[in-house]
Chain A
Amino acid sequence: QVQLVQSGTEVKKPGASVKVSCKASGYTLSNFGINWVRQAPGQGLEWMGWISAYNGNTKFAQKFHGRVTLTTDTSRSIAYMDLRNLRSDDTAVYYCARGGIAAPTKFDYWGQGTLITVSS
């Protein structure tokens, strides 16, 4: 069965960086893409970006351009999201979700979420 398992909770200081991992199993990572979505406490879902695990192409929401890096390691079936220059309003649960090979498409499988808290 398809599963996405994310790395654990992190607490970071403002200005730091965080790297969240998302390990895929039950399918071939390079046949799909991975999206990253975040949800601030009590708020809605916010799409951050997508990476094709086939060729590394990416798309980002405008507000995250230049602050987020998405990568994949297909040999280990892991996707990564690197967020730099953290601010307090980056405190949120971050999800990875399977998407299309050539575009974000529908998100049919989701990771369990990773809580990132940014606090001094």
Chain B
Amino acid sequence: EIVLTQSPGTLSLSPGEGATLSCRASQSVSNYLAWYQQKPGQAPRLLIYAASSRATGIPDRFSGGGSDTDFTLAISRLEPEDFAVYYCQQYAFASTFGGGTKVDFK
């Protein structure tokens, strides 16, 4: 089973700042990686798939990068609605999720 390790566990930032979240895979997943945002009491929402493609309706302040084992999700200017938990997911071999990164208010 492929293990995804996300870092940091928590990112404390202010609106307007940029954020960079990391996801590392235990073996290569090529570009079969997605990112999700989850707010309390809600289902996750797809942000990025194929490592760098934005899902429908996702603002361009969200961008994904990387390949093989190292991936990043960048948020260029945090809006108040961006404070949430973010998960990466690989779908190269069945599927697994990372443990999540919480972006909260500094």
Contact = CB atoms under 8 A, between A and B. Distances in A.
Interface of A: 35, 37, 44-47, 50, 59-62, 95, 97, 99-100, 103-108, 110-113
Contacts, number: 64
Contact of A44 (B43, B45, B97): B97
Interface of B: 1, 34, 36, 38, 43-46, 49-50, 55, 87, 89, 91, 94-100
Contacts of B50: 106
Given A35-B95, A107-B36, A47 B43 contact: no
A26 B87 CA distance: 26
A99 B91 CA distance: 10
A99 B94 CA distance: 11
Contacts of B89: 45, 47, 106-107
A10 B86 CA distance: 28
Contacts of B95: 35, 47, 50, 59, 61, 104
A59 B98 CA distance: 19
Contacts of A37: 44, 97
Contact of B97 (A47, A50, A60, A111): A47
Contacts of B91: 99-100, 103-106
